[in-house]
Structure formats: C-alpha cells, structure tokens
Structure 1
Amino acid sequence: MSVDAIVQTEFPEGYAVFFGAEGKVIMTPQSEEHSSTIRSMQIDTLALGRHAKVTSDVYIDFPADENSAPDLAILREDAQKQGKRYSFDDVLLISEVVSTSSARKDYDDCTAKYGRYSIPIYLIVDPYAQEVVVHSQPDGTGYIAAHTHRYGTGKLPIELADGRVFTVDLDELPRPESGSEAH
C-alpha cells in the first residue's frame, strides 16, 4: 500500500491501525475497556517518576523480527534506543490488556514469547475476568510463576528488576459496563 493510499484511506472507527513489514496493514479493534485500562495503568506508572521510560503501543525490537507493540512497557531508566526503537533487553515489565479477540494471544502466545526472551515481568490484565495475572521468573518457554489477583483487592506492588516498584491499583481498574462483550 502506497503512502498516498494510506493517507487517503478511512479506517473503521474503533480500530488501532499498525503498519508492518512488506506493506502489511494490521487492524485491531479497540474497546473502551481496553483503552481505559491502559490509561489507568499509565496513571499508575506516574509513581515511577514523570520521566520514567514507559511506552504504550510502541514497537520494541525482539530477535528474529518478532517485534511487539505491547499495551504497556516499562523500560530500564538507562534504556537507549537502538536506531528508532528500544530493544527487548531494556524491558522490565510488559502488560497486555485482554480484549475478546486477543485472549488466546495474550494468555498463550505472548506468555511463551515474553518468557522466551526473558522479560522479567509479564502482566495480563483481563477486564472481562476482572483479574490481573502476574508472570515472573521467565524460563525460556514461558514463566515459572504466575499469580492471579482479582480486581477490587487493593494495591498490587510489583518489584521491578531495577529495584523500583510499580503499583497497580486493582480498585481503580475499569470494569466493563453490563452488556459489554465477554470472552
């Protein structure tokens, strides 16, 4: 797809559009729950400092062209871009927010991938199940430890590999309105 074609294309409302290798256009639906959950976690990252290196939906380089644009990533304070992107080696925590179309990918594929690349902490935030799964201790095929925390159970402190603590406020994570899709 040419640049002119992209500029003139009207993409459907409610979708995030990403442009991949070889001209691929990737469209993923974004729900209000998805967006507001990411925003809630971004607010929680402010406790790490106004200038903490935190990204949302920004590509991170992984080997073998397995690049990812996680919903939220917390990077080492001394992280430096390699070219235009940060490397997976700079990542302390990745969080993916489950949507009805991404549940299998977030729970299975991403758990295996992020464990394979030794991402120290992988969070799965599931607004529909109203739980957060904290994966730690990557082992090359996934994670050794996984702990599930229910929404509405207070603050969840997560120690990062550099000694800082990222605290997710489980009481403030948005819940789907009744009638929203469930997975």
Structure 2
Amino acid sequence: MTEQRIARNLPHLLSLAEHVEERVEGVDVSVVGDVVMMSPVSPAHFRTQREVDRQLREQVGDAALGGIEFTHPEWDTRRSPDNIVWHGDEEEPAPYDADTIDLAVEIVSASSVENDYVIKPREYAAAGIPACLVLDPYTRAWTVFTDPSGGG
C-alpha cells in the first residue's frame, strides 16, 4: 500500500482501532502501516491499565487518556503509552506531538521488560516528558522517572 493511501486511510484505521478497543476487553489495538493489529494483553496488564485510567480520570478528568499515538523527532518509532496525562489539542490530527504529554505511564509486559523499564523512559526523557511512571503488575512495584534531560 502506498504511503499516500495509508495517510488517506489513517483516520479511518485509527477510528476502527479505537472502536474495537472500546468494545473488546483484553486486547491492545494499534495501527501499524496499513494494518490494524490486535494483540492480547494479560489480565494483570488489562486490570492495571483500567485502574490507572480510573484513578487518573478522578484527578485530571479528560486530560487522562490511553492508547493514543505520539511522535517526536528524537524517536525512531511512534509511541503509545498505556496511559497519559496531556494538554494537547484533540482537533489536531494523530499522531500527536509528545511535547503535549505531562505524564507517560507504562505497564510492564512479560515480553517487553527492557523496553518498558529502559528504552521507553529514555525516549520519553529525550522528548522532555516531565514524568514517566512504570508499573509492574508481576512484581507489584513501581518506578517513577522525573527531571528528564537529553540523555535520560
């Protein structure tokens, strides 16, 4: 599929992904190229994400979101933190600018421990995101990264 066709269909694909994710529990839905991908998540990951979303919404209302795609010049790929607090403009087209993220939350998956503890926090720091919270439902521990600099 050509890049132009992907760009033209991206809003439809993102809408489809959001529709599926709202109605099917226990899956992570993302758009990669011209494909809508559905990946199962563990019950612990799903419950943790849902509880974080509930607690953040109680504190910051609609500024709390999950599964939204962001980009930044420092990143090789787009990122979709499990949960975020942001100050962005919903009218802007996706992917959104990572500069609008105030807090990124990552929930550790058994298959991506290094990615969740090392790579993503380093990329978020390089993008200037003020805080990154890593929650590990397997060890029942959390780690918070603050005061980012260009190196992490």
The alignment's TM-score, normalised by the length of structure 1, stands at 0.62
For residue 18 of structure 1, give the secondary structure of its aligned residue in structure 2. strand
The alignment's TM-score, normalised by the length of structure 2, stands at 0.73
Shift of the alpha carbon at 1:58? Answer: 1.4
Structure with the bigger percentage of helix: 2
Per-residue CA deviations over 1:60-113 (Å, capped at 9, x if unaligned) read 22225631111001002xx21432343111100000000101111101110211
RMSD: 2.7
> % of aligned pairs identical?
27
Name the amino acid aligned to 1:55: L
Counterpart CA distance in 2 for 1:14 and 1:37 is 11
Counterpart CA distance in 2 for 1:65 and 1:108 is 15
Which of 99, 118, 140 in structure 2 is aligned with 1:89? 99
Query: Which aligned segments of 4 or more residues in structure 1 are displaced greater than 6 angstroms?
Result: none
Structure with the bigger percentage of strand: 1
* Partner residue, 2:79: 68
Which of 31, 35, 42 in structure 1 is aligned with 2:42? 31
Kindly indicate whether residue 54 of structure 2 is the aligned counterpart of residue 40 of structure 1: no
Instruction: Between the two structures, name the one with larger relative contact order (CA 8 Å, sep ≥ 6).
Output: 1
Find the structure with the greater CA-based Rg. 1
For residue 93 of structure 2, give the secondary structure of its aligned residue in structure 1. coil
Contact 2:70-2:94 within 8 A present in 1 as well: no
Shift of the alpha carbon at 1:25? Answer: 5.8
19 and 85 in structure 1: CA distance in 2 versus 1, 3 angstrom threshold: closer
* Partner residue, 1:20: 32
**Count of paired positions:** 131
Counterpart CA distance in 2 for 1:17 and 1:45 is 21
Contact 2:57-2:64 within 8 A present in 1 as well: no
Counterpart CA distance in 2 for 1:110 and 1:40 is 21
54 and 14 in structure 1: CA distance in 2 versus 1, 3 angstrom threshold: closer
